Structure 1
């Protein structure tokens, strides 16, 4: 998993009325962005376009969140969850990410994501839960469709049978 460094402890907040937009190809390479993405990330459009979307991945994000994201997108399902991203200078910003596959004639041709500002309560809950995953202490928890949930016996059986 990509581990972008260095990082700072300085948070940049997305405005209440701002949305970040991006489209990627099927491999996660950025194909289209809006100005808000450029502004908050600190990367230029040239530094983002054509690059893997994980260029903004923050090392505090657990790999389980991205595994869940890609599992859903590749299955043709949308995904929504909290994401902590890294700015070019190491600062960070939190978003509620809504990602969805875009279809043409029944086939996924691209992925689109629209992100908005989360509440402070959402950030605190996600930060605490993601720390458990990173430290290997998320016993009995998993990330399912972007949410941290309790893993139960039914899920374990289905996961290993299918």
Structure 2
């Protein structure tokens, strides 16, 4: 799993009227981004296009969340969840993400993600849940190796 570093403890915020959007190919490489996503991520559009979407993955996010997302969208369904992302500078921001398959002639050809400003209570709940999952997942991974 990609582990983007360094990270800071600075939280970035965006407006309720802003929608962060992006599209990817089937392998998760970015094919388009909205100006709001570019601005918040801190990356230039040229730095994002062609890169794996996990360029903004925050190391606090459990791998299980992304495994669930990929299973869901690969099966042709929409996935929704709260995600903690990392900006280019290492700051973080929370989004309420909705990821859906993009179809052409009945076949999935990519994925579209629309991300909105989440409610603070939902962020607090997700942060607590993810913190509980991360140590447990690390222990399971450690035990499998040894």
Q: Matches of 1:84 and 1:30 in 2, distance apart? A: 18
Q: Matches of 2:8 and 2:49 in 1, distance apart? A: 24
Runs of 4+ residues deviating >4 angstroms:
none
Query: Which blocks of at least 5 consecutive residues in structure 2 are unaligned?
Result: 138-146
Q: Helix, strand or coil: the match of 1:136?
A: helix
Residue 93 (structure 1) aligns with? 93
Query: Which blocks of at least 5 consecutive residues in structure 1 are unaligned?
Result: 138-162
Once the two structures are TM-superposed, the CA of residue 55 in structure 1 deviates from its matched residue by 0.2
Q: Matches of 1:102 and 1:38 in 2, distance apart? A: 21
Q: What's the TM-score, normalizing by structure 1?
A: 0.83
**Structure ranking higher in helix proportion:** 2
Matches within 5 A, 1:1-80: 1-80=1-80
Q: Matches of 2:42 and 2:60 in 1, distance apart? A: 19
Q: What's the TM-score, normalizing by structure 2?
A: 0.92
Q: Helix, strand or coil: the match of 1:134?
A: helix
Equivalent residues, number: 137
Q: Helix, strand or coil: the match of 1:133?
A: helix
